[in-house]
A and B are shown apart, each in its own frame.
Chain A
Amino acid sequence: MHVTNLTHLQRLEAEAIHIMREVVTQADKPVMLYSVGKDSAVMLHLAKKAFYPAPPPFPLLHVDTTWKFRDMYALRDKAARKAGMQLLVHQNPDAVRQGINPFDHGGLHTDMWKTEGLKQALDLHGFDAAFGGARRDEEKSRAKERIFSFRTASHRWDPKNQRPELWRTYNARKNKGESMRVFPLSNWTELDIWQYIHLENIEIVPLYYADERPTVTRDGLLLMVDDDRFALADGEEPVMRSIRFRTLGCYPLTGAVESTAKTLPEIIQEMLLTTTSERQGRAIDHDQAASMEKKKQEGYF
């Protein structure tokens, strides 16, 4: 008998598809968290594959902070339209009212827009399972999280009380009010994501590719001035630099890197030769030791 050796990407793809199919059959009301980043792009692409020829049987949810890059909003609407999926956008009304922004409010910005916003959106629609694009190679506490990650009715993650998860047999049963976060990309690495985008021709936000953009440097981070809401400090003057982003969050919180990589192979080349890890560009992780674990316990995705 002829044997076909599946490549690691084929196996990761099959695993993600299997996970998504388990969720739609076990959950009452699933949703896919869509952050418009490269991981979200891959996750959405896999969802299309999992249910083809049917469209993915759940909506996309963007927990919006109103502080995303303009390019991200443009791609968000386009990607949802092309997938034939409903796009739900949630902005925390309390944060809207109080004008919470990353310049004046620091950690509160993430807490209110993202952590609280996400909980509100899930409760508002009654979603009992939410796909997220997190990967285990991103951060230490994620390395230990299950693929089907159980959350209490108050959205808390209890790292010491995780359900055993054997083979590809996933237990998504839960009581009313409780929910699951599901991470189909758990076993993908940053390189896998990039290579898959390359192989499958997946459209991503142009900001991942290098271009001349207005920037300032602040606290060791290279920040892009995306619109006039960016409050410049005394003496700060935007400088045009060839930059790109390895990870995309809220624009003032996400640091860029100087780069000339304009194609995916060049991006991958740069990534492989680089010497800093992906989350380095995100201010959120530097708050305190074990900060992600703490945020996750509180309900951050």
Chain B
Amino acid sequence: MNEIYKTDALIAEDIDQYLETHQHKTMLRFITCGSVDDGKSTLIGRLLYDSKMIFEDQLATLEADSKRVGTQGEAIDFALLVDGLAAEREQGITIDVAYRFFATEKRKFIVADTPGHEQYTRNMVTGASTADLAVILVDARKGILTQTRRHSYLAHLIGIRHIVLAVNKMDLVGYDPAVFDRIVADYRDFAQSIGIADFTPVPISGLAGDNITTRSDNTPWYDGPVLLEHLEAVELNQTAEQLKPFRMPVQWVNRPNLDFRGFAGTIATGQVKVGDDVRVLPSGKTTKISRIVTMDGDLDMAVAGQAVTLCFADEIDCSRGQVITAAKKPVEVADQFEATVIWMEDDDMVPGRAYWLKIGPQTVSAVVAQPKYQINVNTMEHLACKTLDLNGIGVATLTTDREIPFEPYTESRDLGGFILIDKMTNRTVGAGLLNFALRRAQNIHWQATDISREHHAAMKNQKPLVLWMTGLSGSGKSTIANLVEKKLARMNRHTFLLDGDNVRHGLNKDLGFTEADRVENIRRVGEVARLMADAGLIVITAFISPFRSERDMVRGMLPAGEFVEVFVDTPLEEAEKRDVKGLYAKARAGELKNFTGIDSPYEAPDAPEIRIDTTRMSPEEAADMIIAKLIP
């Protein structure tokens, strides 16, 4: 063992000196990528084993397991050390990201052990998102494979700056330098084609231990660094981040009493000193840093990666999600972007649907348009697509409901990386990278008109409303809507009825009944209803509108209180029994696809303003009840 691990003697002789050394170690996070047979788990197992991170009891378990289920005969199967969950052990594959820890004399390491199969792309992206470096494993006998290209592409996409090409199992090709050189040359061609400027190739054997901690006698022709040597020397992201302009997203406003107001957050990039001029975005207000507060005493200066609390010289507004930046080098603010989206959910992405977008501590509502293209992660080809399915990666326009401070992902992971959250299930369904702001949104300004919506409403002597009827086909929406409109007309109210079937003959005749088309149908109707409400009208709509997300989207388009959701609640059996248009019969016969209630879901409202139980109420009674609620 060389000087990479000399700890034992020092620990025994001078523990204080050892602690002093250990205390000043830096930390490198890396991922290992490879497919099942590339020897990834064996390599990690060996790294842990060599750094004495494996204790005797674990070793005893390992030895027993090796004999029972191992693949190395009587020898120790290092792979078993790192294959965690019971189900995974049975299947012999690594399903999820597992984090491992070891340390050398210079650094502590966190290894994200990520699965190799294409169906686990999202897991690999998760592991890669915090990594400084990627070790791409290649089996010397097989050379560059499809998955090598995929892993390299993903590592590069997620912004990993240091790539190690570990050509493994050199023992099985007789440590032949020609094999190594050919693989390196192949990889260089590919790497350059996807924009990887540099990488470090190392010939290794995880099983035999060549060139991992010590230089191997089996590869006298190799003069590059051994694996751990390189991992100890490579520049950390944390170091590179400090050289960029100062940015700190605010996580939490600390206000324990009237005398103290501090802004807590983790510095994303750059450095900050007391007295620095800063600008808060999106408000654009400027001030100076008066204090950098920590429990261990005030600091003069803080750098990227530190979690601190900043105080301002002036009382300016600043809250969670806003970004404190260098005054002279602020970040951009925008609400429309080109983004690369990685879909991570079993259900396909729904273009046009509003998702929560979380970028650092900031959460906004966002809509992803139909992708411009999807990337085939095996061939890097751009393919036309309507949406993204699980593990799909595509480029699309993304629109947020308000302006957000951001930076391109290549500049800052914190200010350019986002996750998408489903508004109903709250699951993280996607992740993405902001590439750049689209200027279009900024150049089309809202035309201010002299006659305001209040003026329109005042002339009609009424409060504009959108009365949104939702329910199954045949529930009675149109019948009730029609009665409501007649009654309102009799009361001299200015109304307009937008009917689902009618709109599909004109405005929306280009749309079908897929989930994406249904979303777009409702979006257009919502926009039309909003324009009519702006004109002062009481708008009545009768659409199945099966998804909560889209009803909530329309609700969000209107001022508070102007959207009235009316749930026309008719059980499926009842609607099917009525079957006024004969549609249920067709759907049951398989002649109509995507029919709500049959082979497409209906998401009932959680808390509608008005609920109509049509099994207990005639349409006439229902209409009267609605009027009574609207005009008390």
Contact = CB atoms under 8 A, between A and B. Distances in A.
Contact of A50 (B56, B307, B358, B417): B307
B90 to A, nearest CB: 10
Interface stretch (A133-141, A207-215, A232-240): A133-141
A137 B101 CA distance: 7
A195 B19 contact: yes
Interface string A235-270: 000000000000000000000000000000110110
Nearest to A49: B295
Contacts of B18: 269, 272
Nearest to B301: A4
Interface in B8-30: 8, 11-12, 15-16, 18-19, 22-27
A7 B23 contact: yes
A268 B15 CA distance: 8
B129 A274 contact: no
Nearest to A170: B358
Contacts of B103: 189, 191
Contacts of A136: 99, 101
Given A49-B294, A171-B426, A198-B19, A166 B417 contact: yes
B428 A171 contact: yes
Interface stretch (A91-99, A103-111, A114-122, A156-164): A156-164
Contacts of A277: 55, 57-58
A22 B86 CA distance: 31
Given A25-B320, A54-B254, A162-B96, A175 B426 contact: yes
A280 interface: yes
Contacts of A13: 307
B96 A53 contact: no
Interface stretch (B237-245, B329-337, B544-552, B593-601): B237-245
B238 A199 contact: no
Given A18-B251, A173-B356, A276-B57, A7 B95 contact: no
A51 interface: yes
B250 to A, nearest CB: 10
B359 interface: yes
A284 to B, nearest CB: 14
Interface in B59-114: 82, 84-87, 89, 95-101, 103, 107-108, 110
A195 B22 CA distance: 9
Given A22-B251, A171-B419, A14 B15 contact: no
Contacts of B243: 1, 3
Interface in A23-58: 24-25, 48-55
A3 B242 contact: yes
Interface in A50-80: 50-55
A6 B86 contact: no
A17 interface: yes
Nearest to B54: A277
B86 A290 contact: yes
Contacts of B296: 49
A262 to B, nearest CB: 13
B107 A164 contact: no
A187 B111 CA distance: 10
Interface size on A, as a range, is 35 or more
Interface string A261-301: 00001101100111111001000000001100110000000
A101 interface: no
Interface size on B, as a range, is 35 or more
A276 B7 CA distance: 17
Given A6-B306, A164-B125, A144 B84 contact: yes
B307 A22 contact: no
Contact of B307 (A17, A54, A186): A17
Contact of A164 (B242, B307, B344, B425): B344
Interface string B336-378: 0000000010000000000010111100000000000000000
B85 A165 contact: no
Nearest to A278: B55
A11 B97 contact: no
A218 interface: no
Contact of B418 (A164, A169, A199): A169
B23 A265 contact: no
A202 interface: no
Given A166-B125, A166-B431, A25 B252 contact: yes
A174 interface: yes
Interface string A5-16: 111111111110
Interface of A: 1, 3-15, 17-18, 21-22, 24-25, 48-55, 136-137, 140-141, 143-144, 159-160, 162-169, 171, 173-175, 178, 186-187, 189, 191-192, 195, 198-199, 265-266, 268-269, 272-277, 280, 289-290, 293-294
20 contacts: A4-B242, A4-B303, A5-B26, A6-B27, A14-B305, A18-B307, A21-B265, A22-B361, A48-B295, A144-B96, A164-B123, A164-B126, A164-B344, A165-B126, A166-B129, A174-B426, A187-B99, A268-B15, A276-B56, A277-B58
Given A3-B242, A4-B301, A173-B426, 8 more contacts: A3-B239, A4-B271, A5-B239, A11-B238, A14-B306, A143-B82, A165-B428, A169-B359
- Top 7 closest A-B pairs, CB basis? A8-B27, A54-B256, A290-B86, A17-B307, A275-B56, A52-B295, A277-B55
